[in-house]
Amino acid sequence: MVIIFFFFGLLIGSFLNVCIYRLPQGKSIVSPPSRCPKCRARLRLWDLIPVLSWVWLQGKCRYCHASVAARYALVELLTGVLFLWAFSVVGLSLELIKALIFISFLIIITFIDIDHQLILDKVLLVMAGAGVVINLFIGAPMPDLVSMLLAAAAGGGVLLVIAVLTRGGMGGGDIKLMAVLGLWLGWPHIIIVMFGSFIIGGIAGVLLMLLKLKGRRDYIPFGPFIALAAFLTMLYGLDILLWYFKRFL
């Protein structure tokens, strides 16, 4: 079962690569079939085996030998690992369905934000709708409607206040993403996401500057840090809350 979920994640990761590449360009994610962006040759099934095709072809197109970014294999591997991680924590349950869909959205948002410094409204709208439907119809331990709306208002509202006070220090996409995460995770889990994203973002920013990969004035996408905090909250939010209450209350 563990191997099945890992390979299932690899396959989904291959599809997520298509979404990450095509959605910012306004292209369909279902047609036309995948092609080499250099020579435009149509890629066959054996060219699209997750990770293995990239390794076998040594990171090059079979037809024109143009370099193929390692990032494609990385996304596939990451998806496989995160699917396996979720399965190991949640187990085979309805909650796992929510987790895998949630992870898929987070990966799309993360890599589009890294590539384009943009969180697409159309992705957030679909994610918001999926979160509401899943929470309302799958049942406990999902958040109820009041919890969802409260968390969405709190998450988006806090980042909006920060954006106003810092005069653009927080992007509109980040604000909307936090509101959507509120719909998925409910109250008070959205609080963990907010604090967690600022902590992770702060640590990552310092490391990037120490390694001289980014300067003090360089833009660093915040969406990936929100996504990582949301992933951890989804799996360990209740444990984090219990730890906090036992330690500080």
The per-residue pLDDT string of the chain (249 residues; one tens digit each, 9 = 90 and over) reads 788 889 999 999 999 999 999 999 999 888 888 877 778 778 787 778 889 888 888 888 888 888 888 999 999 999 999 999 999 999 888 889 999 999 999 999 999 999 999 999 999 999 999 999 998 887 556 678 888 999 999 999 999 998 888 776 678 899 999 999 999 999 899 999 999 999 999 999 889 888 877 777 778 889 999 999 999 999 999 888 888 777 776
- pTM here is 0.93
b/e per residue 162-199 (b: at least 16 CB within 10 A):
ebeeeeeebbebbbbbbbbbbbbbbbebbbbbbebbee
Contact status, residue 152 vs residue 179, Cβ threshold 8 Å: yes
